[in-house]
Amino acid sequence: MFRALSVFPGSWSFAAALAVLGLDELETMEVLASLRDKCLVRLTETDDGEACYSMLETIQEFGQEQLTERGELDVTGTAHARAERELTGRPERQFASAPAPTHE
């Protein structure tokens, strides 16, 4: 679940996490709470008072490296694009927000 959430280029809503993870609401809440407890995900509020989640950039990059190593980046990126379309009504974008990790 951590790897799947690393596809978000910035912050995301609970609804977006729900769509990308493919879990029910309770399971998604449990996953997000567990990741928060481990300091892998941050919970903040938007100016409108809505909850939003995010990762530190280095943690996000690690998650994306793990997706790439496991061959899951394309599938997860497609789920992210589909979720974005469903939540915003905008057409799917090519998943390019997460550059391929480099091994220096």
| Interior angle at CA 84, CA 78 and CA 88, nearest 5 | 155
* CATH number of the CATH domain containing 75: 1.10.10
Q: Are 43 and 31 in contact (CB under 8 A)?
A: no
List the domain range (segments joined by +) for residue 8.
2-87
Beta partners for residue 94, in sequence order:
none
Q: What is the pLDDT of residue 67?
A: 84
Would the pTM count as exceeding 0.75? no
For 51, list phi and psi in degrees, rounded to 5. -70, 140
Q: What is the pLDDT of residue 8?
A: 85
Number of domains in the chain: 1
* Average pLDDT, integer, range 27-38: 96
The answer to the question of residue 93 being in a domain is: no
Which residue type occupies 34?
A: S
The answer to the question of residue 97 being in a domain is: no
Q: What is the pLDDT of residue 83?
A: 67
The answer to the question of residue 100 being in a domain is: no
Interval 15-29: pLDDT, tens: 889 888 889 999 999
The answer to the question of residue 32 being in a domain is: yes
